[in-house]
Each structure stands twice: as structure tokens, then as C-alpha cells.
Amino acid sequence: MWASVLGHDSENGFAHADKDFHKYLMDHGKQLENSFVFFLGDHGLRFGNVRKTFVGALDVNNPMTAVSIPNSLRNTTSILEILKENAKKVQSHYDTRATMLDIMKTLQLLQYQHKFKGATLYEVSVKMQEPSNAEFKGKVKILDDKVQVLGLVERINQYGKTADCINSQYHRPFCYCKNQENDGKKATKKKPN
């Protein structure tokens, strides 16, 4: 989970996502017991009052990184001890990448069995007809004749101003507004009465 936008301009941004992160972690607790979970950020605040503090000065160029390893590996491998030792050193995302590569190598040695045994994974591409000509890609898993979408379905071509009638960043890639003659004026949020 890369959380760079939430706290990019304000130290208070992360608090707005606490409930969402908590719900996600609780809802997926069983799956996460057997997973590596990385929480990442790009850097600390570059301006403002927090930047002027001792902690802010340390944090400004250090990426926030928190790692949880599978319960089954905490006492049976040296991964946790290595992560604890590395936490005392200056780190970059090059180190994060190296850590992920080491994990993959270690898991191969442990003959890690993937939970989706018997599942078939597909990458699906869809191209819509005119007028939108939208192109999408996504991944699906088929297990026991059931299809499940994995992750996000992403728009892979530009849509320009064709979705200016809608404010939702989530829905914009899927929208093609009927009225294309709005001269590039974006939708404005209406205040509730």
C-alpha cells in the first residue's frame, strides 16, 4: 500500500484514512496472516510547521516504510531480525526493492505454496466502440467456474475532456458524457440544501 497522496501536503491527511485502513486490515486479516504487507510513503513533509521540528527534519528525506511478514515466517526464518536491524539504518526505496527481491528468493527456497492452486489467472483487455473508444485492462481469476476481478480495472488510453461532466476521479475513466459541448468546463460540486 503506497500512501503518498494522503499525507503529502498535510500531517493530518492520514487520519482521514484511519477507518478505511482499519476496516481493510480487519476484513482481510486471515489472508494477511500469510502475506507480506508493505505500507510505503515517498518522503516526509517538505514545508510547514512539522518540517521545522527535529522529527520533521529527519523525516523529510526518509521514506515511511512499515512491513508485516507472515506469521509462519516470524520464528522460522531470519527475515524479521534482518528487517529490525535494517530499520536502524538509512533506507531508500532501492532498499525496499532489494528486500522484495530477497523475499521472493527466500520463498522459492521455502517452496512456498500459493493459495490459488488450481485457479486460472487472465489479463483481460476490452476496447469500446465509438464514440468513446475507451480501452481497459484488468485481471480476473477463474476458480471452480467462478470469475473474480482482481484489483482495479484500469483505463489504458487517454480520455481527455470527454468525462468533464463528472467529478468522481474513480468514475471519470469509465464516463463518456452525452454533452461534449461544455467547452472544457468541469462539473462543479453542488452543495446540499
Considering just the CA atoms, what is the radius of gyration of the chain in Å? Answer: 22
Per-residue pLDDT of the chain (193 residues; tens, 9 = 90+): 666 667 777 777 777 888 988 998 899 888 888 888 888 777 777 777 888 888 887 777 776 788 888 888 888 878 888 888 888 876 777 788 788 887 777 666 555 444 555 667 788 888 888 888 888 888 888 878 788 888 888 888 888 888 889 888 888 888 888 887 544 455 555 455 4
Per-position DSSP letters for 56-116, written without gaps between them: HHHHTTS--EEEE--HHHHTTSSHHHHHHHHTTS---HHHHHHHHHHHHHHHHHTTPPPTT
Q: Which three cell numbers stand for residue 150?
A: 482482481
Q: How many CB atoms lie within 10 A of CB 7?
A: 21
Domain ranges of the chain: 13-109, 116-157, 158-193
pTM reported for the whole predicted model: 0.49
Q: Tell me how far apart the alpha carbons of residues 2 and 65 are, in angstroms, rounded to a whole number.
A: 9
**What pLDDT shows up at residue 23?**
92
**What pLDDT shows up at residue 159?**
84
